[in-house]
Structures are given as C-alpha cells and as structure tokens.
Structure 1
Amino acid sequence: MSGRKSLPPPLLAYTAPFVVFLLFLAMEQGISSLGAESGQWWLATPKYWVFPLQTLVCGGILLYFWRHYQFGPLAPGWIGVLGGLVILGLWIAPQAVLGFAPRTTGGFDPYTLGAEGTTPLLMIAARFARLVIVVPLVEEIFWRGFLMRYLIKEDFQKVPFGAYSHLSFFGVAGLFMLVHSQADWPAAFLSGIIFNAIAVKTKSLFACIVAHAVANLGLGMYIMTTRQWGFW
C-alpha cells in the first residue's frame, strides 16, 4: 500500500470544481499567448472552445460530487434575489450611471466566429450556461461553502455554514476580489462582502448561489443589450 494520504471526498467535492475551473482559465491564457500570431482562430482566440469545455467539465465534476453538498434552507432564496440585484447594480453602475467608458473591447464576443446561423446562438447559450449555472455553483461552493468555514477551523465540516469570524469574512472577500481583473476590484470586493453577509444572515448556501446567479444573469442581459463584451 502507498503511504500517501488521499484527500477526503468532502474536501475534494468543495475544492476540485474551483481548482479545475482555474486550470481552464490558465490554459486559455497560455494558449492565447502562444498562439496569438498563429493565424488559427482556435489558437489565437481559444476562449471560444476552452470556455464551453470548461463549462461541461466543471458541470460534470459538480454532478459527480453533488451528494456531498449541503445547500441549506431554500426559503431565504428571496434574500439572494435582492442581494443579486444589488450586486448587479455595483457591477454596471460605472458605465450605466457614472458615465465611465463602455467596455466594448476584449472579452467574449459571441459573434466573432459568425454573425448568422446557429454559431452565435450556441456561443450565447454556452456563455449563459457558464455564467448563470456553473460559475455560481463552483464559486459559492468554494468561497462560502468551503473557504469561509475552513478559515475558522481546518475541519470545515464541523463549522456551521454562515459562521462568522473577522478573518473568514474579510479574508474571503479580499481573495474573491483578487481573482477578478484589477478594474473590477471595487465591485468584486463589495460583492464579496454582500455574498458573505447573505451567508451569515441566512445560513443558506442556496441563497448565496441564487444571489450569484441573479447578478450574473442580469449582467449577461446587460452585456447582450449594450454589447459591452469586455464585462465577460
């Protein structure tokens, strides 16, 4: 027998989807930097196939570990809806209210590979599946379901969901901010505070996922309406 210890399934369940998600982001950045001058779209702009693949793989991992997740009470979902709308406002306020320059460059333009036919529709569907389903599940399971509890006690399963400590609350908000682009740091940090507050208030991972999904759905609709692809 090997003397190496394997990670217990609950720890894998709460961390593996997020780790794999980040690995896909790193893969996309690596391929795009190496293939920028290749003349091949799949090397120069790999996000158009890496991100859909990321969605499928991470979705599959979530389903595999589904029995390990404890989503808590469903009733506080309405708090998640309200929180998600507030978070949406934080993200779009600079352009929609304060007159900042539109974010029309970069990002994921679903019409890049074709403006007609089924291709853009498939790109949009894949992007919304990632934005509204996979990202809220992956991130909330990791940030609020795992890390916020782990920073209180290493055996995180013995920590009730929504338990509070200064380190876990503000540490997770800060780390959540850092994984976003620098231009998004103010909105990301405040969003992290709101997500954490929802967790502490409701004791419901479900409410946090709802908040994240509502915010992302609204942001996706705003992006499609204004064509500010730089948001995603």
Structure 2
Amino acid sequence: MPSRRKLAAYTLPFLAFVVLLALNVALEKIDNQPWLTLPEYWVYPLQTILSGALLIYFWREYDFAPPRQSGFALLIGIVVFIVWISPQALFGSAPRTLGFNPPFHARSPFYWLELVLRFARLVVVVPLIEEIFWRGFVLRFLIDENFERVPVGAFSWFSFAAVTAGFAFSHSPPDWVAALVAGAAYNAVAYRTKSLSSCVVAHALTNLLLGLWIVQTKQWGFW
C-alpha cells in the first residue's frame, strides 16, 4: 500500500475542495442571512486558499514529469473548451447568466481580489487538484491499489470508464455531457503523453479560455 502521506497528497486537496463546495450548496438554502446566501463570495476564495495551501504542502509528493507532446495537450485543451461552450455558442441554448457575477461588487475594494481569486481557482487550483486526483491517483489506483507502482498513463478499460464517469458527475448537471467528453479527452492526454503535467496543461488551458469567455459574454453560470 502507498504511504499515508502519499495517499493524503493525492486525495486531500480534492476532498477539501469538494467538502467546501457542498458547504456552498447547503448555505445557498439559508434565508435572511446575506453573508450566507451569497457563499460564493467567501466559500470560493476559501476553497482556493485551502486547496492551494494543501497543494503547496504536499508538492514534493507529486509525480510531475516535464510536459510532453505539449502540442497535443494544448489541442485537447482547446477542443474541450469548444465542446464545453458549444450548446450556448453554437447551438442556441439559453445563456447561463445566473452565477458568480464580479460586477455585482464592481465598486467594492474587494472586486479585483474576488476576480483574481476566481481565476486562480479556475486556472490553477482546479486543474491541479482534479488532475492529481483523477489522472494521478484514481486512474492508477483502479489498476493497482499501490498506485505508486503504476506509471502515469497506464491503461485499463475499467479505470478509463470509471474516471471518465467520476470526473463528469463531479460537475453540475448542466455540464455532464461536456464533462464526459472532457474526462475522456484528459485521459487521452495521460495515455499519450505519460505525463501528469501535460494533463494539467490541457485542463488549465480549457479553464483559462472558459474564464475569459465567461467574462466576455457574462454567462456567469459557467463558473
């Protein structure tokens, strides 16, 4: 079995993120407390800070080989972005305008802090914690419980299907179809490049393009 520290490194940042996300959903149901009914303005920054701190604490435990076949990883990142926005951008689905809206606090001194933290969450923290957990840990653990013995990018149909489904259904229901495509595509990056770093690069590019598109189109529901 892997060491407790190695297991914690690959799972705790993601689990902390998910627990705080569940807290956000629960708090949204509380009435008459403005600071609670807008939890995205403080829970999301807390997610960024806590998960980011855990990543830094465990950094030496991760198997980050140098990125390989960067062109393929970047191409996958762009393709996933296009798939993600295609219902609204290409097929006329209703805009997703409800969600975290930075201009809501445009005159607040916290505006830029909120926006920077949101992009840090989207482009840095989320790609790292999700790729470390799904491609770095689960994809290998489902082949051998002692996942450290399994090289990044090792293939089995069971782990491929389980990680693709798990990755998809960890997202909100409107994103399930796109997230299924994304999960399979990021798996393909792992299989082709054998590099967890390349998976992070692909995912980060998708999220960067998505964040810029959200700000440009004001479709805050994609956050």
- TM-score tier after normalising by the smaller chain length: over 0.9
Query: Which amino acid letter does the alignment assign opposite residue 205 of structure 1?
Result: L
Q: CA deviation at 1:7?
A: 6.3
User: How far did residue 118 of structure 1 move?
Assistant: 3.2
Aligned residues: CA RMSD: 1.3
Distance 1:24 1:77 in 2: 33
Q: How does 1:39-58 map to 2 (within 5 A)?
A: 40-58=33-51
Q: Structure 1: 5+ residue runs without aligned partners? A: 1-5
- Residue in 1 aligned with 2:102? 110
For the 8 Å contact 2:68–2:193, the answer to whether it is kept is no
The yes-or-no answer on 1:21 pairing with 2:17 is: yes
Bigger radius of gyration: 1
* 1:48 Cα offset (Å): 0.5
2:138 to 120, 123, 147: 147
Deviations for 1:64-103, whole angstroms, at most 9, x for unmatched residues? 0000001123232332211100000000111111111111
Letter in 2 for 1:110: P
2:210 paired residue among 185, 204, 219 = 219
Are 1:184 and 2:175 an aligned pair?
yes
In the alignment, structure 1 residue 89 sits paired with structure 2 residue 85:
no
Tell me the distance in 2 between the aligned counterparts of 1:66 and 1:78: 25
Q: Percent identity?
A: 49
Superposition pairs for residues 95-174 of structure 1, below 5 Å? 95-105=88-98, 107-112=99-104, 114-174=105-165
Q: Deviations over 1:29-67 (max 9, x none)?
A: 12221x2x21x3211111100110110010000000000
**8 Å contact 1:77–1:206 — kept in the other structure?**
no
User: Among residues 4, 28, 49, which one is paired with 1:32 in the alignment?
Assistant: 28
* 2:72 counterpart of 1:79: yes
Q: Secondary structure at the match of 1:161?
A: coil
SS of the aligned residue for 1:99 comes to coil
Number of positions where the alignment pairs a residue of Structure 1 with one of Structure 2: 222
